[in-house]
Structure 1
Amino acid sequence: MASGLLSQPLRAQAPRQARLMVIGGAEDRLQDRLILRKFVDYSGGSGARIRLITAASAEPDGVWDSYRKVFQELGVADVQRLALTDQDSAHAPELQQDILQADGIFISGGDQGKLMQALWETPAYTSLHEAFHVRGCCLAGTSAGAAVMSRHMIAQGVSVLRPSKDATATDMGLGFITQAVVDQHFSERRRLARLMSTLALRPDLLGVGIDEDTALVIERNQAIEVIGRGSVTIVDPTRMRSNVDEVEAAEQIEMLGVELHMLPAGRRYSMDTADIPAHWPGHLKKVLMRLAMQGPIRG
């Protein structure tokens, strides 16, 4: 794996609870900064090594300056930007080492396609998986950084008013969430129809819509939690019946039997059977387990 190329030993550390923080964009950076505070806490507090990936942004220097200031104001002394800009940089052994030494990695917004062009099938891609799955690094992504968390990501698509065929195009993401596709800025940009258009063609996946200043926190195989000020919408097409194969491109789609769950901020959902409330629908645990389950280490 990528760690075999390192020239320096990795810092010893106790195993940690690896968490994904999938953020819907526009997280508060000026006031309470709850989501970013939680990211620092999950990464180990003020002594954590925080690393930023800004490769998705059209203005990476400005994005870096903004987050550097916030994390330093939150008490983190060791905040650095990872030297990832393109495919060539993603092969650098120094970048692999920096990724594997991180306690928390934060992926900024921008263009998810641009980010995946830089990372796809590179040693940096492998190192991100090793950092999360093996070393327990906290991995967060906002906006485009949230979209890339899933194996199948929405690469293009306008916010349509109604589900319609071929309204979106998907591509390969980082694959930390294997059984769902993520959409961000969800309520604010009215993206339910866009997400459902995607699911009409991929009924094997769950749809996850995350509002702005809201984060879905996934504790592998254990629990999910919603923090911030909005909600997470889960669309389950498992029992769906659709005419998507019968209609032409851009035509409206019939979608019957789709289930929708709203998870508001401040709620935590444990996968422990003993903690499941009586009011849960019988199959909700199975739905949430699909989000919380650990995927494979990609290489």
Structure 2
Amino acid sequence: MTRAAGGCLLVIGGHEDREHGKDVLDRFLELSGGAGAPIVVVTAASTAPDKVWAIYKRAFAALGATDVRPLHLGGPGEAGYAAMAQAIHRAGGVFLSGGDQKRLLRCLAGTPVEAALHAALERGACIAGTSAGASALAARMLAGGYTSLQPLKGAVTLAAGLGFVGGVVIDQHFAQRHRLARLMSVIAEHPHCYGVGIDEDTALLAGPGPVIEVLGAGSVTILDGRAMESNVEEIRRHARPRLLDVRVHLLPSRSRFALEESADGKIQAAPESLRHFIQTMTTKSET
């Protein structure tokens, strides 16, 4: 089921520009309804929420935003969750900051705030996540492991994420931290999932509607192992798997594709190799 017509995900690879042009944050503000729209910044992934909030408060103010508020979460037993959820119910956009995605899930999972986030997307809000906040948007997120120079069986572990999109695993700081082998380790053991690697100061926009777009300074790398042949089931832990027929897509900034060409011709129809990925990114997760 396609999401609400106006709802969209903005998946950011971390270290988005907050001092100069602020292109990614400016687009988030636009997608959220403009300068006067209610914006909520969720800092639960961070161990220094006040510091994180100060950074985004200054950045959004410089962009002209007039209604931005922080949402600091200490854990699922914290008082005031209903009031926090109400703030999200009125928001045009919600921004999940970076830090530790496991911490973010410990604070959000099963709370009224998590339910409010899903309701916000369904009614047409923009839900953005940067760095840890980006990885947590998927139904399954990176939860542990290490970056190696080559794919290895068992190099990474996955855990339940927030579930805004299923069928993908999202990695961030991708080119800057040389995470291609890490993401290949993921799809070696989870070939039903796309691996999505997002560079710093770069975002993958999914929606509104069946449309994807890359914005910012870098690129988005997509690994498609659905037709892959592998011996990963036969090898020992930490051994190198044989991976045949892995598709790699590299989408630089300003790449825009839709399932159908837009009426004005500004968004081209996706090639067959990207159509299923677009459907995956813009369809409500059932996971």
Any gaps of 5 or more consecutive residues in structure 2?
none
**Structure 1 residue 179 and structure 2 residue 162: aligned?**
no
**Cα offset for 1:87?**
0.9
1:263 aligned partner: 251
Distance 2:64 2:248 in 1: 39
Alignment of 1:144 with 2:129, yes or no, is: no
* TM-score (norm: length of structure 1): 0.89
Who is 1:81 aligned against? 70
Q: Would the alpha carbon gap of residues 132 and 138 (structure 1) be closer, same or farther in structure 2, given more than 3 Å must change?
A: same
Partner of 1:232: helix, strand, or coil? strand
Q: For residues 105 and 205 of structure 1, do their structure 2 counterparts lie closer, same or farther at Cα, with a shift above 3 Å needed? A: same
Q: What corresponds to 1:7 in structure 2?
A: none
Count of residues paired in the alignment:
281
Whole-Å separation in 1 of the counterparts to 2:88 and 2:27: 20
Query: TM-score, normalization: structure 2?
Result: 0.93
- Aligned alpha-carbon RMSD (Å): 1.8
- Paired residues for 1:83-232 under 5 Å: 83-89=72-78, 92-133=81-122, 135-232=123-220
Q: CA deviation at 1:290?
A: 1.8
CA contact (8 A) 1:84 1:90 kept: no
Which letter does structure 2 place at the counterpart of 1:22?
V
Bigger Cα displacement from structure 2, 260-269 vs 81-90: 81-90
**Contact (CA 8 Å) 1:91, 1:123: kept in 2 or not?**
no
Looking at structure 1, the residues matched to 10 and 209 of structure 2 have their Cα atoms a distance apart, in angstroms, of 14
* CA deviation map 1:33-81 (0-9, x unaligned): 0000001111111111111110101211100001001111111111110
Deviation at 1:273, TM superposition (A): 5.7
CA contact (8 A) 2:223 2:247 kept: yes
Q: 1:48 to 1:16 in 2, by over 3 A?
A: farther
Aligned match of 2:273: 283
CA–CA separation in structure 2 for the residues paired with 1:67 and 1:90: 24
Identity %: 43
2:11 to 4, 22, 25: 22
- Indicate if the aligned counterparts of 2:193 and 2:225 stay in contact, CA closer than 8 A: yes
Structure 1 residues without counterparts, runs of 5 or longer: 1-14
Asked if 1:57 corresponds to 2:46, the answer is yes
